[in-house]
């Protein structure tokens, strides 16, 4: 064994990755927390074949992971999640709470490796920037942020601090989508048009989220599918149109969009419709309704993510479906349960990249291909940002009987909202840098 190799192995054997989680609600308190509990128990290697990174499983097997802190807005939520983690692992993370709990957390734990961000959509940027400025890598929920200018600040700060921002874009790791990306996409020829839908339960917008009015169905779940199409075709948007409806949630006093529809035209010529809502009644058989289709010059692919042929019904329980690919529990001989699925996979790829940087000296550019980067998320954020502005103007004009003529244009001159009803300023540049 040469000295280089010995040093390399020595570093890995001693390795520990300290994580902290900010936001422990429906998603952070469930998927993130359980994924980190399994990492703490068994390391990262058991997960690597699923995402095609198993060539590093021996190197990374000795790396220990420790969730050292959990932060939420309320004390109750932070302590409950920390206790839940203790029940799964035997170790109690420190609990932080309040309006900006990440500030104390980052001050108290200066050697933190990874800050995981699962706060509400409008509360990602300040947490991400604080994490980067404190020297931590960041694993953030989608959407990375809601404004294109914020995306630039995140990217600049990550570059300056030489840290990774990995974005949870799990649709890429759905086994059906991995097959489309690696194979089917080539068979169906040049993409012409497509449609993607994600329809969330009414419970999310009316009960789970206290922040529904600060987001909307496209900003919340549209990024999943937008990222997937950008990822499949490495294509950029050139134009979009968007509309939304407000009827159902208004009935419950919530001033938020029920549904949003966005059409994005890409520079490879494909036109994709994204349909999202969060008003699906509880009678629906699955947790969410979702799927996508692409028509190409030589074929078509359909991927129903909701009904994959798995359905059951029982007295009093209605007819139900489940998406076992997203996350599922697998019983261990000791009675505990391992947690696997593409919902976990997309967190794992970011952590592999972070481990490669920390333990193997890889540069950010060397590992950028193995996880959803902030640069890729910037494209999604640009679309979400423009769609929000276009949709609001079209919503207003529809109510005034002036049609829905507003669109946005993307190009080397930035992002421009085109509003034919505004005779004084038809072209409104919202972003000046090349897109
Ligand atoms: N990848 C996915 O499939 C997926 C699914 C659901 C949600 N998400 C994303 O995850 C994020 C969180 O969503 P959720 O469903 O868990 O929402 P949620 O409302 O259930 O939970 C939000 C969490 O953030 C915490 N929080 C709120 N304000 C805070 C503050 N000021 N400081 C610290 N913590 C604060 C709350 O205490 C709570 O723990 C959102 O960005 C959402 O879009 C992703």
pLDDT in tens, 288-303: 999 999 999 999 999 9
Is the pLDDT confidence value at 7 over 60? no
Ligand 1, atom 9: closest residue by C-alpha = 141
Cα torsion 58, 21, 357, 64: sign: negative
Does the CB atom of residue 130 touch ligand 1 within 6 A?
Answer: no
Q: What was the pLDDT predicted at 336?
A: 93
Q: What was the pLDDT predicted at 427?
A: 98
| 401 neighbors 375 (Cβ within 8 angstroms) | no
Is the pLDDT confidence value at 287 over 70? yes
Q: Other CB atoms closer than 10 Å to residue 119's CB: what's the count? A: 24
pTM, to two decimals = 0.95
Alpha carbon of 305 to ligand 1 centroid (Å): 23
- With cut-offs at 50, 70 and 90, classify the pLDDT of residue 41: very high
Which residue is it, tokens 């220990």? 64
Does the CB atom of residue 23 touch ligand 1 within 6 A?
Answer: yes
Residue spans of beta strands (DSSP E) within 252-324: 259-266, 271-280, 289-296, 299-304, 311-314, 318-321
Alpha carbon of 95 to ligand 1 centroid (Å): 16
Give the containing element (helix H, strand E) for 18.
Answer: strand 16-22
- With cut-offs at 50, 70 and 90, classify the pLDDT of residue 13: low
Q: Pick the more confident residue, 78 or 14.
A: 78
Is the pLDDT confidence value at 6 over 90? no
Alpha carbon of 86 to ligand 1 centroid (Å): 21
> Looking at ligand 1, which atom is closest to the CA of residue 24?
39
Does the CB atom of residue 73 touch ligand 1 within 6 A?
Answer: yes
Based on the number of CB atoms within 10 Å of its own CB, is 365 exposed (0-12), middle (13-18) or buried (19 or more)? exposed
> Dihedral, CA atoms, 264, 265, 270, 275, nearest 10 degrees?
20
> Looking at ligand 1, which atom is closest to the CA of residue 215?
43
Is the pLDDT confidence value at 133 over 60? yes
Overall average pLDDT of the 223-250 stretch: 97
- With cut-offs at 50, 70 and 90, classify the pLDDT of residue 3: very low
Does the CB atom of residue 305 touch ligand 1 within 6 A?
Answer: no
Does the CB atom of residue 372 touch ligand 1 within 6 A?
Answer: no
Q: What was the pLDDT predicted at 261?
A: 98
Alpha carbon of 28 to ligand 1 centroid (Å): 6
Is the pLDDT confidence value at 227 over 60? yes
Provide the CB-side half-sphere exposure for 349 (13 A, CA).
Answer: 25
- With cut-offs at 50, 70 and 90, classify the pLDDT of residue 10: very low
Q: What percent of the chain has pLDDT over 90?
A: 95
- Report the mean per-residue pLDDT for the chain: 95
> Looking at ligand 1, which atom is closest to the CA of residue 99?
31
Does the CB atom of residue 24 touch ligand 1 within 6 A?
Answer: yes
Ligand 1, atom 11: closest residue by C-alpha = 118
Strand arrangement of the beta sheet that strand 427-431 belongs to: 299-304, 289-296, 191-201, 271-280, 259-266, 237-245, 407-411, 414-418, 427-431
- With cut-offs at 50, 70 and 90, classify the pLDDT of residue 12: low
Q: Pick the more confident residue, 6 or 244.
A: 244
Q: How far is CA 416 from CA 234, 240, 410, 419, 429, in A?
A: 22, 10, 7, 9, 4
- With cut-offs at 50, 70 and 90, classify the pLDDT of residue 5: very low
Q: What was the pLDDT predicted at 2?
A: 40
For a pocket test of ligand 1, which of 141, 170, 220 has the largest count of ligand atoms closer than 8 A to its C-beta?
A: 141
Overall average pLDDT of the 134-146 stretch: 97
Cα distance from N-terminal residue to C-terminal residue, the chain:
49
Overall average pLDDT of the 48-73 stretch: 97
- With cut-offs at 50, 70 and 90, classify the pLDDT of residue 346: very high
- With cut-offs at 50, 70 and 90, classify the pLDDT of residue 14: low
Is the pLDDT confidence value at 183 over 60? yes
Is the pLDDT confidence value at 312 over 60? yes
């Amino acid at each position: 064994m040469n000295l280089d190799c010995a040093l390399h192995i020595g570093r890995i054997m001693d390795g520990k990755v300290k994580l902290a989680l900010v936001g422990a609600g429906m998603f952070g308190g469930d998927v993130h927390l359980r994924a980190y509990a399994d990492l703490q128990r068994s390391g990262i290697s058991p997960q690597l074949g699923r995402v095609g990174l198993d060539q590093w499983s021996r190197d990374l097997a000795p790396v220990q992971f420790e969730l050292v802190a959990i932060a939420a807005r309320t004390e109750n939520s932070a302590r409950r999640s920390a206790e839940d983690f203790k029940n799964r692992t035997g170790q109690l993370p420190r609990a932080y709470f309040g309006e900006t709990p990440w500030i104390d957390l980052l001050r108290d734990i200066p050697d933190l490796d990874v800050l995981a961000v699962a706060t509400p959509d409008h509360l990602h940027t300040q947490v991400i920037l604080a994490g980067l400025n404190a020297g931590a890598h960041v694993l953030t929920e989608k959407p990375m942020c809601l404004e294109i200018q914020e995306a630039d600040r995140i990217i600049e700060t990550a570059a300056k601090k030489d840290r990774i921002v990995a974005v949870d874009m799990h649709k890429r790791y759905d086994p059906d989508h991995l097959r489309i990306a690696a194979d089917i996409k080539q068979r169906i020829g040049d993409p012409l048009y497509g449609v993607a839908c994600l329809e969330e339960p009414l419970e999310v917008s009316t009960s789970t989220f206290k922040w529904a009015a600060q987001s909307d169905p496209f900003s919340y779940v549209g990024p999943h599918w937008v990222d997937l199409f950008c990822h499949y075709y490495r294509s950029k948007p050139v134009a979009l149109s968007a509309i939304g409806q407000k009827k159902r949630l208004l009935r419950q006093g919530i001033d938020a969009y029920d549904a949003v529809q966005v059409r994005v035209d890409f520079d490879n010529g494909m036109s994709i419709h994204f349909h999202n809502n969060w008003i699906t009644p509880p009678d629906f058989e699955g947790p969410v309704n979702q799927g996508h289709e692409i028509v190409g010059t030589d074929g078509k692919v359909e991927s129903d993510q909701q009904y994959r042929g798995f359905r059951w019904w029982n007295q009093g329980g209605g007819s139900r479906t489940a998406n076992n690919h997203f996350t599922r529990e697998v019983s261990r001989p000791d009675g505990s349960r391992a947690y696997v699925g593409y919902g976990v996979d997309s967190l794992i790829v970011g952590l592999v990249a972070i481990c490669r940087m920390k333990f193997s000296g890889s540069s950010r550019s060397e590992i950028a291909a193995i996880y959803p980067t902030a640069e890729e998320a910037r494209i999604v954020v640009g679309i979400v940002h423009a769609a929000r502005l276009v949709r609001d103007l079209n919503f207003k004009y529809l109510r005034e009987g002036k049609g829905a003529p507003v669109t946005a244009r993307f190009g080397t001159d930035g992002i421009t909202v085109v509003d034919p009803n505004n005779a004084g300023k038809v072209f409104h540049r919202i972003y000046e840098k090349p897109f």
